[in-house]
Amino acid sequence: MSKTAIIIYSDPKSGSEEALGRLFNGLFLAYELKEKGKDVAVVFQGAGTRWPAQLVKADHAAHALYEAVKDVVAGVCGGCADVFGATEDARKTGLKLDYEKAIPGTPGVLDLSSYLDEGYSLVTF
């Protein structure tokens, strides 16, 4: 069985259609793989850690799609959220903030290499 980790890096603060399009495509891929019974995980990394606070808003364009895949959202990179000022807003969403890998200058980040170790393919948006 194939395993895919979808990493969302796009920044909602950019206000661009491109950033929103990347988010939609990442969530849509998660939706498709989930429908097919594949092993899929969505991770918010880098400036993408700002998305969860937007996606929980019922009037957001991607809210319904997010709700359809939030059970496969593995978490939010904690160190990234700290750097990008998204920590408190991410916490309010109830998603896991992950600080598993110590990196100099941060309290820790979500370790993407662990997905590779477990046989996942990484797809970035």
* 3-class secondary-structure state, position 45: coil
pLDDT digits (tens, 9 = 90+) for 35-61: 999 999 999 999 999 999 999 999 999
Domains of the chain with bracketed CATH: 3-124 (3.40.1260.10)
Note the pTM of the prediction, 2 decimals. Answer: 0.95
pLDDT digits (tens, 9 = 90+) for 67-90: 999 999 999 999 999 999 999 999
Is 49 buried (19+), middle (13-18) or exposed (0-12) by CB count in 10 A? buried
Q: For 68, what's the count of Cα atoms within 13 Å in the CB-facing half-sphere? A: 15
Q: Can you tell me the mean pLDDT for 8-19?
A: 95
pLDDT digits (tens, 9 = 90+) for 87-108: 999 999 999 999 999 988 888 9
The per-residue pLDDT for 36 is: 97
